[in-house]
Amino acid sequence: MAPCPLGLTSRRFPRKLQFIAFLILVPIGMIVISNHSNKISYFFRPLWDNPPPPFKRLPHFYAENVSMEHLCKLHGWSIRSQPRRDFDGIIFSNELDILEIRCPELNPYVTKFVILESNTTFTGIPKPLFFSSNQDRFAFTEGKIVHGLFPGRIAYLGSPGNPFDLESEQRKAINGLLHNAGITDDDLLIMSDTDEIPSPHTVKLLQWCDGIPPILHFELRNYLYSFEFPVDYSSWRATIHIYNPGTLYRHSRQTDLILSDAGWHCSFCFRHLHEFVFKMTAYSHADRVRRREFLNYSRIQKLICSGDDLFDMLPEEYTFKELIKKMGSIPHSGSAVHLPAYLIENADKFRFLLPGGCLRE
C-alpha cells in the first residue's frame, strides 16, 4: 500500500538532474545578468523609476531684429532702462574647446565669468589644471575671468569616495568665489556646466526685462559628441537666478519653471579621443565604464561617428514609448543653423563639432 522504494528513487533521480541543471544554469544566468544588468535595469526603468514632476514650460519668443521692448512684452514682462549685470558661474573640468565657444558667445552680456577648477576629478584622480595652463586662449575676455582653484581630495584604492560628494563640495566652493567676484543683489547668475550654453539672445532678454521669475531653468537642446547629433530637448539642469543673499549654487531641480529653447547642451563634445577617455573616467558616472575595452580609442572613434552610446547603455527614459523611440544610433543631422556664432565663424578650427566632422585627431 505504501509507495514502494522504487517510486522514491524514480522521483529522486529527476530531482538530481534538476539539481545539476540548476547548478549549471544559475551561474550562466548570473553571468548574463551581470554583464547586461545595466541594460536590463534601464529597459525596465519605466517600471522602477518615476519621472520628475513636470515643468511649467514658458514659451520663448525671439527673432533677429525684433525690438527688446516688443520681446519683453511678448513674455508678459516690461523693458528696463538699464540691463542687469550678469555673472556666469561654471565648474570647469576639461571642456576647453566648448569653453572657448561659450565665452565669446556670452561675453557681450557677462560682467564676470566665474570659473572654479579642481586639481582632482570628481572621482578623486589628480588632474592637470587645464584652464590655468590655457588662460591665453581666453585673453579676449579682457580680465572678466575670475578663476578659483579647488583643492580636491585624492581617492586612494579602497576608499574611492563618492563622486557626487566631491561634486557637491565644488558647488559649495563656487559660492565664495562668486562673492569675491563682486556679485550683488539683483544681478543675474547663470548656474550651469561648461557644456550647457545659454544662447546669447536668451541672456540679453533676461537682462533687459523686468518681471522675470527669480529662478528659471533653461530648456536646452541636447547634443552628443557634436552638433551633428541632436538628441532631444531634455536638458533642464542649467538655471538663471536673480541673485539674493540666500542664493546657493546648485545643479539640480530648483523651481517648476523652465524657459523653452534657451540654448545648447553639447555632451562629450571633445576634439581629442584622450579627452573622451578622461571624461569617461573622471565624471560622476565613471562607474558606467564597466569594461576596459570601453576606453579603447578605435572603439570610441567608431561610436562617435555612428552616434552610438559610449557606455553601451540604453537611453534613460521614463516611458517605454520614449525608450523604444530613442533606442539605437542617434540620427545624423545636416543642420548647422542656429548654433553658436563663434562656432560658425571659426568652422575650420571646430570641424569636429559640425556635421560631417566626426573623425577626431
Residues that bind ligand NAG (CB under 6 A): 64-65, 119-120, 126, 151, 154, 296, 298-299
Q: Would you say 241 and 191 are in contact if contact means Cβ atoms under 8 Å apart?
A: yes
Rounded to the nearest whole angstrom, what is the least distance from the CB of residue 40 to ligand NAG in the complex? 25
| Grid cell in block for residue 259 | 524657459
CB of 126 to ligand NAG, least distance (A): 4
Q: Which is nearer to ligand NAG, 63 or 139 (CB)?
A: 63
Q: How far is the CB of 105 from ligand NAG (least distance, A)?
A: 19
Of the two residues 108 and 245, which places its CB atom closer to ligand NAG in the complex?
Answer: 108
Question: Smaller CB distance to ligand NAG: residue 120 or 207?
Answer: 120
Torsion of Cα atoms, 5 then 11 then 17 then 23, to 10°? -100
Cell numbers placing 202: 536668451
Distance CA 35, CA 33 (A): 5
Task: Tell me the C-alpha to C-alpha distance, in Å, between residue 127 and each of 15, 97, 110, 265, 330.
Answer: 58, 17, 28, 24, 31
**In the bound complex, what is the minimum distance in angstroms from residue 107's beta carbon to ligand NAG?**
21
Distance CA 70, CA 75 (A): 9
Q: Is the CB of residue 193 less than 8 Å from the CB of residue 253?
A: no
Residue 268: DSSP 8-state = T
Shortest Cβ distance from residue 231 to ligand NAG (Å)?
A: 25
119 or 333: whose CB is closer to ligand NAG? 119
Instruction: Count other C-beta atoms under 10 Å from residue 15's C-beta.
Output: 9
In this complex, which beta carbon is closest to ligand NAG, that of residue 121 or of residue 235? 121
